[in-house]
A and B are shown apart, each in its own frame.
Chain A
C-alpha cells in the first residue's frame, strides 16, 4: 500500500500521454454534502429529467443493484437482488482483505496525474460483484453525478464477475442541470472470471465545460466475455480515455462499441485497446463517431500475443459540419504467427449521391440525412434504457440539421 502511495506521489504532476493537459488546481474540492437518500426523495424533477437522459431511472425496482454518488458523497447504494453485492469501494476495502491487492492491478497508479489524484484524494466509487454462477437478468444501475460547479470528482470502481456469473451494469455520468464545468476522474478495474460475462454500458452526458478522464483496465479470464458500450451524445469540454482489456484466458472474448458525437467546442480522444494474450481469444472494437463541429480522435489498438486469435477493429467517422475534425487511428500489432487481425477505418462526409438516392424514394432531405446517420450509428446495443433510445433518436435528428 505504501508503495502505491509513493508511486502516486511521484506522478502527482505527470501529464497524460494523450489529451489536453489540465491544471488540477483550477478545480474545486469543496462539493455538496447530500445525505443518504434511500428512496431518492432529494431529487428535483429537473434533476430527474437530466438523469434520465443519462439512462438513470432512479429506482430500485427492475435493477439488480443501485449506486449513486453525487460529488464526493454516496447517496444511494444497495444490492436489490440475491447474487449481487453493491457497496461503496471504501466499505468494500474495509470488508474484504483481498480487495486491496486487486486495486491498481489493472490500471497503473502512476500512469499520469489523474490516476495519481484518484489514489491521493479518493472520494469514493462503487464495488459491484456478481457471485459465482449468478445470472442477473436486470442491470445494476450506477450513477456518478457532478452536483457542484467546478468540482473535481475522484472515483475508483471495481466490478468483479465471479466464475459463471452474468452481470449487466449501466453507468450514467452526468451533471446537475445548473452545473456546466468540472472534472471527473474515474478509475475502473473490472475482473471477469472464468466463464463469466460482463456487459458494461456507459453513458456520458456531462456539461459543456466538463473535463473527463476515465482510466479503465479489464481482465477477462478463460471463456469469459466482456461487452462494453460507450455512448456520448452531448457536449462536453474534453474526454480522454483509452480503456485496455486483457484477454488472459483461452476463449475469452471482448467487444467494445462506441457511439460518439463531437459537438462544437468538444475535444474528444477516445480509444479502445485489447491485448489478446491467450490462444483462441477474440476481440472486436467498433467506433462510430460523428462531428457536428468538435474534434474527435478515435483510436483502436489490437495486440495479438498468442496464436489462433482473431480480432477486428473498425473506426468510422462522419463529418457533418464544415468545422469539425475527425481522426481515426487504428493500430494492429501481432507478435506471433497465427494471428488474424484486421481493421477498417473510414472518415468522410455523407455523399450527396446517398442523400439523393433516398430522396428519389420520396424522403425529403432531412429524412434522408437522418436515415443515413441512423444507419451509420446502427450499432446493436442490447438492454438500452428506453429513455436513452429516445435520446439517441433525438441526437440523430439534431446532428443532421447542420448539413
Chain B
C-alpha cells in the first residue's frame, strides 16, 4: 500500500479537460516533484487530490493510504491526513490567522508556540492573508500545515514570491514537515511538490521528479537530473518527446 495512488485520472474544469489520464504512485516516506510549464495541469492535480468542487473527476480513482477518496469531501481528506499549501490562498475578511491555526492544530499542538517558533506571533491577530506579502503568505500556509501535521504534504510553488531572506525559513519548515532529518523507513511523511526553480530540492529528500505537459505526466526520473535538463534546454525537447 502506498501513501497516494492516482489511477487513470481525467479531470474537467468547466468544459475543458485539463488532466488526461494521470497515473501516479507515492510510497510512504517519499517526496515527488512536479515540473512543467504554466498551465500544464500541475495545480489542477493538487487541487483535485484535495477535492475542490471546481475540478470534476470524469474518470479514474484517487487512493489515499489504500482508501478511495475520489469523491470524499475536502474536509474529510484533510482529516484523513492530506494537507495543501496554497499558492494563492484567498483573503477572508474578519477571520483571524489565529482562528485558522487553532482549527488546524486541534488538540495536537499549541498554535501559539508554533507561531512563536517561526516569528509569526504578530500575524495571529491579523485577518488571514489580508495585506500579507508573498513571503508572509507562504509562512502562514506552511505554519497551518505544521499545525495540521498531514501525512501527505502537497505544496504548490512554495518558493514563489518569497524573498531571499525568507527562502531559508520556508525551506526549513518544509524540511520539518517532510521529516528531512529521518531516514526511511522511519520517515513516514510523503510529499508532492510543484516547483519551477528547484530551490526546494536543497531542503527535502526528493525521490522522483515528473514533467507534466498538457495534462499528462510525460516522464519521471531523478528530480535533479530533470531540473538540470530543463535549465539547459527548457521544455522544447519534452514537447518533441511528448508528440
Chain A contact residues, CB within 8 Å of chain B = 316, 351-354, 356-365, 367-368, 371-372, 374-378
> Can you report 19 residue pairs joining A to B where beta carbons are below 8 Å apart?
A352-B53, A356-B52, A356-B74, A359-B75, A360-B52, A360-B74, A360-B77, A361-B104, A362-B79, A362-B148, A363-B103, A367-B75, A372-B95, A374-B94, A374-B95, A375-B96, A375-B99, A376-B93, A378-B95
- Residues from chain A with a CB closer than 8 A to the CB of B70 are none
Interface flags, B55-97, vs A, CB<8A=1, else 0: 0000000000000000001110111000110100110111110
Number of CB contacts from chain A to chain B under 8 A: 71
Name A's interface SS: helix
Residues of A within 8 A of B127 (CB): 375
B184 within 8 A of A: no
**CA–CA, A363 to B78, complex, Å?**
8
Set A357, A362, A372, A374: member contacting B89, Cβ < 8 A: A357
A360 adjacent to B103 (CB under 8 Å): no
B92 lies within 8 A of A372 (CB): yes
A361 touches B92 (CB 8 A): no
* B100-126 contacts to A (CB < 8 Å): 100, 103-104, 106
* With known contacts A371-B99, A376-B94, A357–B78 Cβ distance under 8 A: no
Question: Do most interface residues of chain B lie in helix, strand or loop, or is the interface mixed?
Answer: mixed
A359 touches B94 (CB 8 A): no
Say yes or no: B50 contacts A360, CB within 8 Å: yes
Q: Nearest CB to that of A288 among chain B residues?
A: B94
Q: How far does the alpha carbon of A398 sit from the alpha carbon of B92 in the complex, in Å?
A: 20
How many angstroms from the CA of A357 to the CA of B99 in the assembled complex?
13
Q: Is B176 an interface residue (CB 8 A)?
A: no
Given A360-B74, A360-B84, A365-B75, 20 more A-B residue pairs with CB atoms under 8 Å apart are: A353-B90, A354-B92, A356-B52, A356-B74, A357-B89, A357-B90, A357-B92, A358-B92, A359-B75, A360-B52, A360-B78, A360-B83, A361-B78, A361-B100, A361-B148, A362-B78, A365-B73, A367-B103, A374-B95, A375-B92
Q: Is B54 an interface residue (CB 8 A)?
A: yes
Question: A358 touching B100 by the CB < 8 A rule?
Answer: yes
Rounded to whole angstroms, the CA-CA distance of A352 and B144 in the bound complex is 20
Shortest Cβ distance from residue B13 to the other chain A in the assembled complex, whole angstroms: 13
Q: From residue 20 to 66 of chain B, which have CB atoms closer than 8 A to chain A?
A: 50, 52-54
Please, how many angstroms separate the alpha-carbon atoms of A351 and B53 in the complex?
12
Shortest Cβ distance from B151 into chain A, in angstroms?
13
A377 with B53, Cβ < 8 A, contacts A359-B74, A361-B100, A364-B73 known? no
Question: Does the CB pair B94–A378 fall under 8 Å?
Answer: yes
Q: Which of B90, B96, B103 contacts A354 (CB 8 A)?
A: B90
Of the candidates A351, A362, A365, the one whose C-beta lies within 8 Å of that of B103 is: A362
Q: Once the chains bind, are B54 and A352 in contact (CB under 8 Å)?
A: yes
- In the complex, A210 Cα to B35 Cα: how many Å? 63
Across the interface, which residues of B come within 8 angstroms of A364, CB to CB?
73, 75
Given A357-B89, A357-B90, A361-B103: A375 and B95 interface contact (C-beta under 8 Å): yes
Question: For residue A360, which residues in chain B have a CB less than 8 angstroms away from its CB?
Answer: 50, 52, 74-75, 77-78, 83-84, 86
| Bound complex: CA A116 to CA B89 (Å) | 54
The residues of B that contact A371 with a CB separation of less than 8 Å are 95, 99, 103
A320 vs chain B, min Cβ distance (A): 15
From residue B125, how far is it (CB to closest CB) to chain A in Å?
A: 11
Instruction: Point out the residues of chain A lying under 8 angstroms from B89, CB to CB.
Output: 357
CA A84 – CA B86 in complex, angstroms?
56
Residues B99 and A359 in contact, CB atoms below 8 Å apart:
no
Chain B residues whose CB sits within 8 angstroms of the CB of A359 once the complex forms: 73-75, 78
- A315: min CB distance to chain B, Å: 13
Please, which residue of chain A has its CB at the minimum distance from the CB of B54? A352
**Smallest CB separation, A251 vs chain B (Å):** 28
Determine which of A351, A356, A361, A368 lies in contact with B144 in the assembled complex, contact meaning CB atoms within 8 Å.
Answer: A361
State the Cβ distance, A316 to closest chain B Cβ, in Å.
8
Note all chain A residues with C-beta closer than 8 A to B79. 362
Report the Cα distance A359→B83, complex, angstroms: 11
Look across to chain A and name the residue whose beta carbon is closest to the beta carbon of B47.
A356
**Contact A375 B93, CB 8 Å, known A356-B53, A358-B103:** yes
Please give, as numbers and ranges, the residues of chain B lying within 8 Å of A354 by CB-CB distance.
Answer: 90, 92
> Cβ of B104 and Cβ of A362 under 8 Å apart?
yes
Q: How far is the CB of A350 from chain B (nearest CB, A)?
A: 9
Which residues on the B side are within 8 Å of A372 (C-beta)? 92, 95
Residues of B within 8 Å of A363, CB to CB, are: 75, 103
Chain B residues whose CB sits within 8 angstroms of the CB of A377 once the complex forms: 94
Closest CB of chain A to B73's CB: distance in Å?
7
Given contacts A358-B100, A361-B144, contact A351 B90 (CB under 8 A): yes
Chain B neighbourhood of A362, CB < 8 A: 75, 78-79, 103-104, 106, 148
Give Cα A351 to B86, complex, Å.
16
Cβ-defined contact, A375 with B94, below 8 A: yes
In angstroms, Cα B74 to Cα A367, docked, is 13
For the complex, give the distance between the alpha carbons of A362 and B73 in Å: 10
What residues of chain B lie closer than 8 Å to A361, measured between beta carbons? Answer: 78, 100, 103-104, 144, 148
